[in-house]
């Protein structure tokens, strides 16, 4: 059985994106990043990459170590990313409660 590839995170000067998720990170200055599904938190570049990898590949075994970099459990990190994705989808189709 082949291992699933780790999602690619594209890091630019101002944004981090991945073709595997609609989540993104934004550079806010002084070495700090924000990730859309972790509102109110400022992260280092490495932490933001870890958060993006969780959103892009939540089924990977590495999620536990990526989440630990954020001070979260894997269930918390995956759940936060999934909740934000579901809320965005609801708004897009007009089913927001």
pTM: 0.83
On average, the pLDDT of the chain sits at 88
Domain boundaries, the chain: 10-93
> Which pLDDT does position 2 carry in this prediction?
55
Instruction: List all residues 6 or more positions away from 60 whose beta carbon is below 8 Å from its beta carbon.
Output: 4, 6, 7, 53
* C-alpha span between 59 and 4 (Å, rounded): 9
Q: Report pLDDT digits (tens) over 16-41.
A: 999 999 999 999 999 999 999 999 99
What secondary structure, in 3-state letters, does the chain show?
Answer: CCCCCCCCCEECCCEEEECCEEEEEEEEECCEEEECCCCCCCECHHHHHHHHHHHHCCCCCCHHHHHHHCCCCHHHHHHHHHHHHHHHHHHHHCCCC
Residue by residue, pLDDT tens for the chain (97 residues) are 555 566 799 999 999 999 999 999 999 999 999 999 999 999 999 999 999 999 999 999 999 999 999 999 999 999 999 997 655 545 555 655 5
């Amino acid at each position: 059985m082949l291992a699933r590839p780790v999602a690619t995170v594209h890091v630019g000067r101002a944004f981090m994106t991945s073709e595997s998720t609609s989540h993104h990170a934004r550079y806010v200055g002084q070495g700090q990043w924000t990730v859309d599904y972790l509102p109110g938190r400022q992260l280092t570049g490495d932490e933001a990459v870890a958060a993006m990898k969780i959103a892009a590949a939540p089924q990977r075994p590495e999620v536990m170590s990526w989440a630990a970099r954020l001070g979260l459990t894997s269930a918390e990190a995956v759940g936060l990313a999934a909740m934000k994705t579901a809320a965005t989808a609801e708004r897009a189709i007009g089913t927001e409660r």
